[in-house]
């Protein structure tokens, strides 16, 4: 009679659902401690397409699977076309009023409107 591979869970008399899935499918069941020590290897295996079950106290807790890339939405030209003609050119091309220019230059950012002496 040829030798059969018997999982450790059968030898110990306990065959959990997660272990059954691991035996008959392309899934691996890993305990929590082993998953913490081998996380980068498990992630690489999941990226390669393998499904990894991480168990806590021999009970399945989570499944590690690769993330599917979200489809990108195509860019739509003219998304702001409804604003065309409604914003006056003067908003962009006229000089700023003195008060606003001072604010942009930091007049209100420091005490008394002056920069500290060590920063010029």
- Tell me what pLDDT residue 17 has: 54
Domain at 8-64, CATH homologous superfamily: YefM-like domain (3.40.1620.10)
Contact 21, 28 (CB under 8 A): no
Gyration radius (Cα) of the chain, Å: 32
Domain assignments of the chain as residue spans, ordered by start: 8-64
Low-confidence residues of the chain, pLDDT below 70? 1-26, 110-120
DSSP per residue over 75-105, as a string? P-TTTTGGGTTTS-THHHHSPPPHHHHHHHT
Counting runs of H as helices and runs of E as strands, what totals does the chain give? Answer: 6, 3
- Tell me what pLDDT residue 91 has: 85
What pTM did the predictor assign?
Answer: 0.40
Q: How does pLDDT run across 95-112, given as a tens digit for each residue?
A: 999 999 988 888 877 665
Q: Using CA atoms, how far apart are residues 13 and 48, in angstroms rounded to an integer?
A: 32
């Amino acid at each position: 009679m040829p030798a059969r591979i018997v999982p450790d869970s059968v030898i110990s008399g306990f065959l959990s659902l997660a272990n059954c899935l691991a035996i008959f499918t392309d899934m691996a069941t890993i305990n929590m401690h082993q998953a913490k020590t081998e996380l980068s290897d498990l992630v690489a295996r999941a990226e390669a397409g393998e499904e990894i079950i991480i168990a806590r106290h021999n009970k399945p807790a989570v499944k590690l699977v690769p993330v599917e890339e979200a489809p990108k939405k195509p860019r739509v030209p003219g998304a702001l076309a409804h604003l065309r003609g409604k914003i006056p050119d003067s908003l962009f091309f006229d000089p700023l009023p003195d008060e606003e220019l001072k604010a942009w230059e930091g007049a209100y950012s420091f005490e008394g409107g002056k920069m500290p002496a060590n920063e010029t």
